[in-house]
Structure 1
Amino acid sequence: MAHTISRGVYYFVKRIPGRYACVDPRSRIQLSLKTKCPEVAQKKSLIVEERLIAYWEALLAEDHEGAKTHYDAAVNFAEAQGYSYLSLEKVVAEPLGGLLNRIEVIPDSERSKTGSVVADGLLGGAPKPALKISRLYEDYLDLTPDLLIGKSDDQIRKWKNPRLKAVNNLIAVVGDKDVHELTRDDGLKLREWWMDRVVDEDKKPSTANKDFTHLSKIFSTWRDLRQEQLANPFLQLRLAENELQEHRPSFSRDWIKTALLAPDAFGATNEEAVLVFKILINTGLRPSELLGAKLEHFVLDHEVPHICVEEYRDGPVKRKLKTKWSARDVPLLGVSLDAAKRLVAMGGVQAYYLKADRWSALVNKVMVERKLKETDRHTPYSLRHSFEESMLEAGVDHRLRVELMGHAYNRPKYGEGGSLELKREAIMRFAFN
């Protein structure tokens, strides 16, 4: 690949490799890069060469992959010549000068050839291939790698699974049809299917609404990035949510004291799992925040012993927080401080490091077996709600409550100088010892 200059304008110049002689009879290509800047010319040359090679490779594979390959080759050829691929309708609607310019680029030998990739690329004759719903999700992931940046393997799994489930639910209802054929009726069929499950199977409306949210986002993002002119069939499908049904209960203070903190409450359960549970009691941390903490995040030799919740990357290990407000320092007091000291002495979180689901499954199972659930709807996560309610009952300032919970807050945080001390004083009002 090279570029040359003529009359102050740079041109891309390349001899066609022998590998592609059977699909492109030209011996040499010369295209204007439409720039007088050498740096810009270099960058454009790399892009043009990449497009040309993709076009040639698609031509070589055309007999094997059919319509999709033909379409991809047509798009790549058009872009390699400096044109955006347009449908036939849009090409015809262009001003006459633009249409003539496209026609002039087509070699005489290609103009009358049926199914010519060259002609189809410039004149929009290549129909878009069908894309099944099952392939839509994969294409969406290919288009949005930025959404997974900074996430650990476990976080990526948790992010992907509900979206894949939503896609599979849609396929179960309407079939694995071409995405271009999806209609509002398909969205309504899915809503009706979910409505039946909510009424007959006691499923939560919020579960259905998550499907609608994921499908709408996947579809609209894919549509916009692929420049498809399609209406989103998944808008405004949400079901009404019963606040009482969706409310997560908190443990009462009496239950925490007499049941959860009773001697030998968890029996022979893995010690690390029990220590994690006790640290949550006076901190209100999300289990995933604690189980993503490294040893250095437990700051016990400080005037105010605390745990640091923060994002980090350590080689292949990535830890991303739920929101930007989740990053915070939380004081350790009472049973939580004692448990943290013991956990640090054991080397920190190990068996359940970045494995919140595994920890939760074990503790849930033990709580059922040993009758530690205040009601059937209580889970280990209920400790976070108990912490929040304890702050409210103790009259802790709203701003401090928000910071300790890691929730969004529009005002500036407390100054670094007194933040930990203020938080410690607040937690001391209700901490379990």
Structure 2
Amino acid sequence: MAHTISRGMYYFVKRVPKRYASVDPRSRIQLSLKTESPDVAQRKSLIIEERLVAYWEALLAEDHEGAKVHYEAAVNFAEVQGYTYLSLEEVVAEPLGGLLNRIEVIPEGEQSKTVSVVADGLLGGADKPILKVSRLYEEYLDLTPDLLLGKSDDQIRKWKNPRQKAINNLIAVVGDKNVHELSRDDGLKLREWWMDRVVDEGKKPSTANKDFTHLSKIFSTWRDLKQEQLANPFLQLRLAQNDLQDHRPSFSRDWIRTVLLAPDAFGVTNEEAVLVFKILINTGLRPSELLGAKLEHFVLEHDVPHIRVEEYSDGAIKRKLKTRWSEREVPLVGVSLDATKRIVARGGVQTYYLKADRWGALINKAMVERKLKETERHTPYSLRHSFEESMLEAGVDHRLRVELMGHAYNRPKYGEGGSLELKREAISRFAFV
């Protein structure tokens, strides 16, 4: 690759390698870089060469890859020539001068395959390949690897599953059709299907709305990154939600004291699982935060014993938090401190390390069997809501409440040396001992 200057303007210059002589009739390529800056010329030349090689390789592979390769080669060639790929209808709608410019770039030669792809790239003759709905999610993942960076295997599974479920539900309703043929009617059919499930089967509107949110995001992201001119069929389909129906209740303080903390309340339930449950009572941690903690995150040899909630990478294990505000230090007092000491003595969380779902299923089952649920809608996660309500009733400062819960808030951090003491004093006002 090289660039040269002529009359103050830089040009990209490259000979066509022998490997690609069968698919490109030109012996030499020269393109204006439209710049007088050598640094800009260098950067543009690198990009053009990369796209040229990709274009040539696509041409070589065309006989094996079929319509998709032909289409992508056409799009790529248009970009190399300095044009945005347009459909045939869009090319015709362009001003006459623009159309003539595109035609002039098409080379003359006998290699019909090359001329065909070049012409298709500049004049919009390549048909878009069929992309089934079942393949849409895979393409979306290929386009957005950054969304999974830093997540553990369990976090990746939890992230992927609801999105795959939304795709499966769409296919169940409208079939595995070509994504380019998805219409507003398809979105409305899915909404009607969900509406029937909400009315007839008692499904929550929020469950349906998660499908619409995921589908809309997947479709719009894929569309924008692939530069497709398609309307999003999943916008504004959300069902009305009943806040009372979706609200997760908190345990009353009396219920925690007399039932959940009663001697032998959980019977023969796995000891580690019960100790984790007790740690949650006075910390308000998300179960996944506690079960993702390593032994060194339980800081007992400190003036204020506490647990550190933070992201980390340990070989193949990558622990990512829900939000950047989730990183925090939470003091340990009362029953939670006692339970933590026993966890540490066991070598930290073992059986349920990074397995919050498995832990939740076991504890929930034990609560049902031993009648530990205050209502049918109570779950182990209700402890987090109880912790938040206890802080409110105890008059804990708003900034401290937000920081202890790991919620987003535009605030300065408390100074070193005072933060943990302030938090412990606040929790001690309502902690169970």
What is the TM-score normalised by the length of structure 1? Answer: 0.92
Residue 159 of structure 1 corresponds to 159
Corresponding residue number in structure 2 for 1:56? 56
2:280–2:384 Cα contact (<8 Å) kept:
yes
Q: Distance in 1 between matches of 2:409 and 2:25?
A: 65
- Assess, with a 3 A threshold, how the Cα gap between structure 1 residues 38 and 316 changes in structure 2: closer, same or farther: farther
The secondary structure found in structure 1 opposite 2:66 is helix
Using the alignment, how far apart are the partners of 1:209 and 1:17 within structure 2?
54
CA distance in 2, matches of 1:301, 1:214: 45
Instruction: Give me the whole-angstrom Cα distance separating, in 2, the residues matched to 1:8 and 1:247.
Output: 68
Q: Deviation per CA, 1:352-382, whole angstroms, max 9, x where unpaired?
A: 2222112212222232333332333222111
Mapping 1:24-423, distance limit 5 Å = 24-109=24-109, 116-423=116-423
Task: Decide whether the 8 Å contact of 2:166 with 2:214 is kept in 1.
Answer: yes
Deviation (angstroms), 1:253? 2.1
> Structure 1 CA distance, aligned partners of 2:245 and 2:24?
66
Q: Percent identity among equivalent residues?
A: 87
Measure, in 1, the Cα distance between the counterparts of 2:358 and 2:24.
57
Moved more, 298-307 or 285-294: 298-307
How far apart, CA to CA, are the structure 1 residues paired with 2:100 and 2:394?
Answer: 77
Displacement of 1:283: 0.3
Q: What residue identity is the alignment partner of 1:121? A: G
C-alpha RMSD of matched pairs (Å): 2.3
Amino acid at match of 2:308: C
1:112 Cα deviation after fit: 8.9
For residues 193 and 386 of structure 1, what CA distance do their matches in structure 2 show? 36
Higher mean C-alpha deviation, range 69-78 or range 143-152: 143-152
- AA paired with 1:405? M
Greater shift in the superposed pair: 412-421 or 223-232: 412-421
Instruction: Say whether the 8 Å CA contact 2:148–2:156 is kept in structure 1.
Output: yes
Q: Is the 8 A contact 2:25 2:109 kept in 1?
A: no
- CA shift, 1:115, in A, is 7.7
How far did residue 110 of structure 1 move? 6.9
Q: CA deviation at 1:289?
A: 0.9
Give the letter aligned to residue 70 of structure 2: H
8 Å contact from structure 1 (residues 139, 222) kept in 2: yes
Kept in 2, the 8 Å contact 1:251–1:378? The answer is: yes
Q: CA deviation at 1:286?
A: 0.3
**Counterpart residue identity of residue 365, structure 1:** K
Does the 8 Å contact 1:295/1:349 carry over to 2? yes
Q: Which moved more, 1:213-222 or 1:263-272?
A: 263-272
Kindly state the Cα deviation for residue 259 of structure 1 after the two structures are TM-superposed.
Answer: 2.6
- 1:86 is paired with a residue of what secondary structure? coil
On the 8 A contact 1:209/1:239 being kept in 2, the answer is yes
Say how many residue pairs are matched: 433
TM-score (norm 2): 0.92
* Aligned amino acid, residue 133 of structure 1: V
AA matched with 1:341: K
> What amino acid does structure 2 have at the position aligned with 1:85?
Y
Q: Distance in 2 between matches of 1:366 and 1:28?
A: 75
Question: Which one-letter code corresponds to 2:153 in the other structure?
Answer: D
Alpha-carbon offset, residue 26 of structure 1: 3.1
What is the CA distance between 1:419 and its match in structure 2?
A: 2.4
Tell me if structure 2 keeps the 8 A contact 1:111–1:119: no
Partners of 1:237 and 1:2 lie apart in 2 by 53
CA contact (8 A) 1:110 1:119 kept: no
Query: What's the offset of the Cα at 1:178?
Result: 1.5
Of 265-274 and 401-410, more deviation after overlay is shown by: 265-274
C-alpha distance in 2 between matches for 1:316 and 1:35: 46
SS, match of residue 376 in structure 1: coil
Separation in structure 1 between the aligned mates of residue 337 and residue 394 of structure 2, nearest angstrom? 20
